[in-house]
Structure 1
């Protein structure tokens, strides 16, 4: 009971803080985030780095995304935050349980309320910024393109002792979100173990374009 109460308090504080950060910060968005709205005809899988999760929550509020979240206690906190911002969560294991959960994900997002999906590219356990096969296999199975999301935060605290260098954005900040053109995953990509498409997606998500650098000047 105490754990549940503490969990609700923690979610309340985390949600309150990130809302405050967004209200006091300049949020710059480039690319077409409208692709991720429920009304958009083509459905995609949005990709983000695990360490950027907290910076992204408010940006797509109300988009009714399905977010893949682990089943552990850590996942309980994330699910609570997702629910507040209007996302749906699909609870999955940290590691494969035989792959059946992939078909469950397909069935959920391909039902009559066909929806977009969001997945952390480097998974729940890392290593840092190493793309996992899960996103690409899911894209093939659900017949969705991948939309890499690049996130830059001018002022932040990074938790370097965590594998994902988790970022805590500070108030009165500048946050830049880049929604890249969706990329199709093919059987040819699978045949080469997704190596080329992994490099391409990683490059986009670690984008340090002139636009971003200029905006911080």
Structure 2
């Protein structure tokens, strides 16, 4: 039964890959804001943050830029890993809940090595709550001495899975997809005091 579930999971994953590629091929993609900062040729590297529910819409956008993606170290992460491999992203696997420890040092080592690149982290984490920023992206930013680069995605035509905690978005073909990259935000150790409330509020205000 496990083999059957794994097979069906992989089939669903490959369908998801080719569907989102078809959506991008048939849609108008509009980039606004500081989108040039996302390119691999840019000297400064960032922690790119976006909402978990928008993650599927984003996959083809930075294809070939060689960036790193944080994903969970479980079965769900296995399928995300397949998608990332297809689009040329490198995954760093961590547990669902990780506020630091050795995982942070592993992340810093990976993204600062010979393949130095931008790192993406879902702002509200793998489990939510919805649009409530976690501390993890900001802790990572401080440890790696990188700025946070917020990114939002707006699809004119879409399906949202309201039964999921993240309102997971599936864009429709023949669409208009707008991606806006905001100005980078610098995070200091002081910002992490008091559960990083101040920097979380700043990011929420930025991404509204």
1:52 Cα shift? 0.2
1:176 aligned partner: 178
2:166 aligned partner: 164
Tell whether the 8 Å contact from 1:151 to 1:205 is kept in structure 2 after alignment: no
Residue 177 of structure 2 corresponds to residue 155 of structure 1: no
2:55 aligned partner: 53
CA distance in 2, matches of 1:205, 1:70: 24
Tell whether the 8 Å contact from 2:160 to 2:170 is kept in structure 1 after alignment: yes
Count, aligned residues: 206
| Matching residue within 5, 8, 20 for 1:6 | 8
1:211 aligned partner: none
Change (3 A) 1:196 1:97: closer
Q: How does 1:1-217 map to 2 (within 5 A)?
A: 1-96=3-98, 99-206=101-208
Mean alpha-carbon deviation: is it higher for 82-91 or for 7-16? 7-16
Q: SS of 2:59's equivalent?
A: helix
What value does the CA root-mean-square deviation take over the aligned residues?
1.4
> TM-score, with normalisation over the residues of structure 1?
0.90
User: 1:68-123: per-residue Cα shift (whole Å, max 9, x none)?
Assistant: 00011111111111111111000110013862111110111111221110000000
Structure 2 unpaired stretches of 5+:
none
Change (3 A) 1:19 1:112: same
Tell whether the 8 Å contact from 2:29 to 2:177 is kept in structure 1 after alignment: yes
Structure 1 unpaired stretches of 5+:
207-217
CA distance in 2, matches of 1:30, 1:150: 10
1:213 aligned partner: none
> TM-score, with normalisation over the residues of structure 2?
0.94
